């Protein structure tokens, strides 16, 4: 709902680029955003707004005004600015402490990071470093599409599934699905995956697919062999961390074995309690 309201507030994009001459609100904050009976966001209080003299102007010179912390933060240093509060959390990759706790952790984590990334792109002091409202609107729409897609997929499976699919080669068989028991925060830490032949296992978040990895890290796993049957025991307590685009996160890891030799590894980075495994079999 908040994301939808933010996109509706991107009506500011019309004031900046669609209305002639352009108008700058100057005091946009939560108390200046009202909701209709259908929970549609409306912008109010244009008392401090400023219209450009003509379309060709690139800026308007004004004196500091508006709510401290929302406009001209340097003119009011007595309170902690939200950017000062959120920056250390972003550096630690702690999205849980940034998101409203009333959501009870029921949100699309990649969508949340995307929205935060958009917000952070809007705060550099130099205007050239900030995106245009049209760019912001486009990014927010992508974020909303990601969130809506996650709401559809998150209900598809409560139980964890192993999807045994095929590498994109002509001599491989068609995909098949192998159901496994529901996995909880306690039980999945010692998940044992069995397959007849070498396998590659990727871990997926049910709402968004695999998270982006910047620097993969290989972890040692407990392995057992019984003829052609290979068991891969995943112990998340011993898994390392990897640097992602948004900070350090704990990751589960699985190895690829071919003819009994370790060849490669794929790493996923998703919450333990919300996993779906995508398993690819290589001949």
Q: Mind telling me the catalytic residues?
A: 208, 211
Nearest in space to 232 (alpha carbons), one of 246, 249, 220, 250: 220
For residues 54-82, b (16+ Cβ closer than 10 Å) or e, as one string?
eeeeeeeeeeeebeebbbebeeeeeeebe
Nearest in space to 108 (alpha carbons), one of 158, 148, 157: 148
Nearest in space to 131 (alpha carbons), one of 12, 45, 1, 5: 12
Q: Is the dihedral of CA 5, 6, 7, 8 positive or negative?
A: positive
Angle in degrees, CA 262, 267, 270, rounded to 5:
150
At residue 202, what are phi and psi to the nearest 5 degrees? -115, 140
Angle in degrees, CA 178, 184, 185, rounded to 5:
130
Q: 180: which residues sit within 8 A by CB, 6+ positions away?
A: 159, 160, 161, 162, 191, 277
Nearest in space to 204 (alpha carbons), one of 155, 270, 139: 270
First to last CA, the chain: 46
């Amino acid at each position: 709902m908040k994301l939808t309201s933010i996109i509706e507030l991107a009506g500011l994009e019309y004031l900046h680029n669609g209305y002639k001459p352009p108008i700058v609100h100057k005091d946009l904050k939560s108390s200046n955003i009202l909701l209709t009976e259908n929970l549609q966001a409306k912008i109010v209080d244009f008392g401090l707004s400023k219209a450009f003299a003509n379309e060709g102007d690139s800026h308007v010179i004004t004196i500091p005004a508006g709510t401290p912390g929302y406009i001209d933060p340097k003119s009011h240093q007595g309170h902690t600015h939200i950017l000062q509060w959120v920056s250390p959390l972003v550096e630690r990759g702690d999205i849980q402490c940034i998101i409203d706790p009333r959501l009870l952790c029921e949100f699309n984590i990649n969508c949340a990071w995307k929205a935060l990334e958009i917000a952070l792109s809007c705060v550099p002091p130099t205007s050239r470093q900030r995106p245009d409202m049209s760019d912001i609107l486009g990014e927010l729409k992508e974020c909303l599409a990601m969130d809506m897609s996650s709401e559809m997929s998150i209900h598809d499976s409560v139980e964890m599934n192993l999807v045994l699919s095929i590498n994109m080669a002509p001599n491989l068989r068609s995909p098949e699905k192998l159901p496994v028991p529901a996995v909880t925060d306690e039980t999945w830490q010692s998940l044992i995956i069995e397959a007849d032949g070498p396998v590659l296992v990727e871990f997926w978040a049910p709402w968004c697919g695999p998270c982006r990895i910047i620097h993969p890290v290989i972890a040692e796993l407990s392995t057992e062999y019984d003829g052609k049957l290979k068991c891969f025991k995943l112990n998340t307590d011993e898994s390392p961390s990897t640097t992602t685009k948004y900070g350090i996160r704990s990751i589960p890891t699985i190895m690829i074995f071919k003819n009994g030799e370790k060849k490669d590894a794929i790493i996923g980075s998703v919450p333990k309690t919300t996993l779906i495994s995508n398993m690819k079999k290589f001949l």
